[in-house]
Amino acid sequence: MIGKQKVCFTRNVITRNNYFKKNLQKYHTYFDQVLVLGVGLDTKFDELDILVDKPIFALDIQGEHIRDIYQKAGLTSQVHIIDADFNQIEQEAIQDTFIKEGLDIQLRTILVWEGGTFYLTPADIFSLLSLVNKTLNVVGLWEIFLTKSSFQMKRTRIIK
């Protein structure tokens, strides 16, 4: 059992990444732009040729740090990261921010939310999704909802 949790978590991340990549490739004709909720350092959006001509935006509380990491590493990304704290987004501000940052609120938009939900309550998750849905022309949502309990696995006692 030593190291099993680490292996399961790594396999989980790889599986999730493949799931989202396959869906983006398979359904790319059904959306015109992508909005990623909590992008982190995810590079899949730069790896897929079918997304080259599509605007890709991301909301992330660590936007400034992510941009800094890319700059220091000499990397570029086609993802336009917008600084956003999911606990403090308001309806009036979100539409203005989207327009100011270049999102076209009329384009067919796919939402991608891979993890990150464990920082929020279920009510906050539904509130954020409702705000985004009211503001954009959302045609779909691909998500992996995780809760804090996802990371509080029961420990197995190892007997030597």
Over residues 45-65, the pLDDT tens digits come to 888 999 999 999 999 888 899
Q: DSSP class of residue 153? A: P
pTM beyond 0.85, yes or no: no
Domain spans in the chain, listed from the N-terminal domain onward: 4-151
Torsion angle in degrees (nearest 10) through CA of 68, 56, 59, 31: -170
Name the CATH superfamily housing domain 4-151. Answer: Vaccinia Virus protein VP39 (3.40.50.150)
Show pLDDT as tens, one digit a residue, over the chain (160 residues): 444 555 455 777 778 888 888 999 999 999 999 999 988 888 788 889 999 999 999 998 888 999 999 899 998 899 999 998 887 877 668 888 999 999 999 999 999 988 777 778 888 888 889 999 999 999 999 887 766 665 555 555 555 5
